[in-house]
Structure 1
Amino acid sequence: MSFSWAKPYEPKHPVMRWIDERLPLPRVVYGAIGGGYPVPRNLNYFWNFGVLAGLFLTIQIITGIVLAMHYTASTDGAFNSVNQLIMRDVNAGWLLRYAHMNGASFFFLVTYIHIFRGLYYGSYKAPRELVWMLGLVIYLLMMATGFMGYVLPWGQMSYWGAQVITGFFSAFPLVGEPIRIWLLGGYAPDQAALTRFFSLHYLLPFVIAGVVILHIWALHIPGSSNPTGVDVKDERDTLPFHPFYTAKDGWFAAVVLLVYALVTYYAPNYLGHPDNYIPANPLATPAHIVPEWYFWPFYAILRSFTVDFILPAKLWGVLAMFASILLLFFLSWLDKSPVRSGSYRPVFKRFFVLLVIDVLILGYVGGAPITPLNVALGQAAAAYYFLHFLVILPLVSKFETTLPLPSSISESVLHGEEAEAAPLGQNKKRGGAAAVVQ
């Protein structure tokens, strides 16, 4: 669909013309994120988190490359290289280490908000199923990268986290233990495991960057979704990505980066675990082994199975943990409602709030000590998680009475009759202002 404001790329500088004739990369960038890319004019601030995720991925790659130059991937030197060499001897090494460590937490935080925005506004529905699935692939790669990075400081929680997480695979009969030995390169985390995790932790962010390119490419085919879930009809429904959304993304990113800087400078260890400042000791088990906070909901699901029933409880827990992520790939078939946006689905909206509360409870239980009360709370929350996606969501999509949708995006922004009566030029001017306000 072509729009009157979408001007073709015309380089003015002789050097840019020369490059464009031989390698039209600037033309591709202009069409992807510049003035040639039409975006729905009613996007709210929840649409900023995709850009933020890309920003934190960039921060992680840059800081990770520099840290790798000083890291010693050996069981004898890893702990000292992180806590002595990098933190004390390398110029600004403490800043690089804390920026990378807290950058992982912020990367997961903005990704979780990005995912829940997609769940609420139906970003997994046609024609964006592949966009959603590629996003989940990115998330799975992030989980693998985050786990391997947690092992690298080779502190107490690093070692025992690797021991526990890789031990999940031993729950599978026959093939589980050989897979675990293959992953670790032995029967317990040691030099072979540390070397493998370091190489994969360095490699996977570049794989993530490649899948991000596919994710953005797949998004540009149907175009961005929007809070109403209504398809773009004409040029009154859209604005050029630049300068409207580059400005909006830019100032919002500045605010988030300010919060990130405050955490990095003034509370760098708040999101970490103090036991990881103790060198790894295979003979001393920590009193409470927990992964990083962004794995807590899934860790709670894993721990919710305490009784053997046909299969061992440990195997049930591992299967449920993997299933809790994999079922998200099938949301477009589980939720058959023709309305995308939760804003026009009153029943869905209430259950979505319950889902958010449920995931927060799972997060609390995953990081809390094991007590009878916490176990019971985790079991109830895990049961509701699967009940929501496998039972409630299909039933709601089938029987729910939805609210009437606006006839167009411009109507939702310009309040009905104004969108139809105002001349096209006026619509464009007022729409630009409205988009910035929203």
Structure 2
Amino acid sequence: PISSTLNQHLIDYPTPSNLSYWWGFGSLAGLCLVIQIVTGVFLAMHYTPHVDLAFNSVEHIMRDVEGGWLLRYMHANGASMFFIVVHLHIFRGLYHASYSSPREFVRCLGVVIFLLMIVTAFIGYVLPWGQMSFWGATVITSLASAIPVVGDTIVTWLWGGFSVDNATLNRFFSLHHLLPFILVGASLLHLAALHQYGSNNPLGVHSEMDKIAFYPYFYVKDLVGWVAFAIFFSIWIFYAPNVLGHPDNYIPANPMSTPPHIVPEWYFLPIHAILRSIPDKSGGVAAIAPVFICLLALPFFKNMYVRSSSFRPIHQGIFWLLLADRLLLGWIGCQPVEAP
């Protein structure tokens, strides 16, 4: 049964013959997840989840563990690559309306995976226990206090006390080890839901006739994408490993010294921009919710016969406006709060 299942989903899987390279980001996301799990397991062998030792254990990995610098840079930049690939995967789906009937469940599972990625990346960013790690954890976890009635209780539970401390670090390390495996399960469900009805295509027109086997045609196409990914990823790791990091995170966490500008990782910047643009904490949290609600609700709007934006100029214009807005919010999120 194992070999027949693998053959059904990876070898003889019927695939629309006109799929472009934009349909390869799903397999690239799977590759990124494997890289993150493998490097994470090896890093966990040398990491110490204690407030007095965490920062030094990361430096020990960088300086004393053979190949430790490579493991850490692969893991840290692998998270960024994972988000880049998934963002491209999401926007491709939005452009070609791949979320429409009968693939509603595929989209909903995809949004759940995206939320799991955000949580996993956030708690992973806390583990090096630098200044940005500590203060980022303090600011983001305190947002839970905006939940009516139970908010303060949730914050205390997250912290394991009345401030971000050793209990918080231990909880985050444990969860950061667990969540990637939940991501694997969600990804397999996502793939199973997709294969129930098959992939969409650039034309957005459903057809059972014009299909070919996944292997060898799209296997080779995915392989080309993997090679291009490996080249770009290698250049990033070996020549600019800290380009997306923040220098303050190379300073050990100090609860008595607040950084002048608390900046999250780049993939949180749009959310960060929305949050800090609304003075009221509850209002900021409420403004973030529609981002994910809209992604979940899209498949349940009126179905269209022609799905691809290539044939829908108004939809295409709105799509590019959304993409520009996403980039603008990211830029705003990384700017310090000061008078223009």
TM-score when scaled to structure 2?
0.98
Question: Who is 1:27 aligned against?
Answer: 4
Provide structure 2 residue ranges, at least 5 long, that are not aligned to the other structure: none
Q: String of CA shifts for 1:391-436, please: whole Å, max 9, x gaps.
A: xxxxxxxxxxxxxxxxxxxxxxxxxxxxxxxxxxxxxxxxxxxxxx
Match of 1:304 in 2: 277
1:109 corresponds to = 84
Counterpart AA for 1:126 = S
2:95 aligned residue: 120
The Cα of 1:175 is off from its aligned counterpart by 1.5
Q: Which runs of 5+ in 1 are unaligned?
A: 1-23, 307-312, 374-438
DSSP-derived class of the 1:127 partner: coil
Shift of 1:327: 2.1
The answer on 1:48 being equivalent to 2:48 is no
Output the amino acid matched with 1:171: A
Supply the distance in 1 between the matched residues of 2:230 and 2:203 (Cα, whole angstroms). 29
Query: Are the counterparts in 1 of residues 13 and 214 from structure 2 also a CA contact under 8 Å?
Result: yes
**Shift, 1:205, TM fit:** 0.3
Q: CA deviation at 1:188?
A: 1.2
Does residue 341 of structure 1 match 2:286?
A: no
Tell me, yes or no, if the aligned pair for 2:48 and 2:54 is still in contact at 8 Å. Answer: yes
Partner residue of 1:231?
Answer: 206
User: What is the alpha-carbon distance in structure 1 between the residues aligned to residue 334 and residue 302 of structure 2?
Assistant: 31
Partner-residue secondary structure (3-state), 1:221: helix
Structure 1 residue 187: Cα displacement: 1.5
* Whole-angstrom distance in 2 between the partners of 1:81 and 1:283: 22
Aligned pair 1:260/2:227, yes or no? no
Letter of the structure 2 residue corresponding to residue 243 of structure 1: P
C-alpha distance in 2 between matches for 1:114 and 1:227: 13
1:78 paired residue number: 54
Contact in 1 for aligned 2:103/2:194 (Cα 8 Å): yes
Q: Is 1:328–2:305 an aligned residue pair? A: no
1:58 is matched with: 34
Q: Decide whether the 8 Å contact of 2:205 with 2:305 is kept in 1.
A: no
Question: Do 1:299 and 1:321's aligned partners in 2 also have CA atoms closer than 8 Å?
Answer: no
Deviations 1:350-397 (A, max 9, x none): 111111001100111111111355xxxxxxxxxxxxxxxxxxxxxxxx
Aligned length: 340
Match for residue 282 of structure 1?
Answer: 255
How big is the alpha-carbon RMSD for the aligned residues of Structure 1 and Structure 2? Answer: 1.1
Aligned residues of 2:101 and 2:303 also touching (Cα < 8 A): no
Asked whether 1:154 is paired with 2:121, we answer no
- Alignment identity in percent? 54
2:324 match: 357
For CA contacts below 8 A with separation 6 or more, give which structure has more relative contact order.
2
1:178 to 153, 156, 163: 153
1:123 CA displacement: 1.1
**Distance in 1 separating the partners of 2:305 and 2:15:** 22
Mapped partners of 2:264, 2:51: distance in 1: 20
Instruction: Judge which range, 297-306 or 51-60, deviates more.
Output: 297-306
Greater C-alpha radius of gyration: 1
Instruction: Give 3-state SS (helix, strand or coil) of 2:273's partner.
Output: helix
1:124 offset after TM fit, Å?
A: 1.1
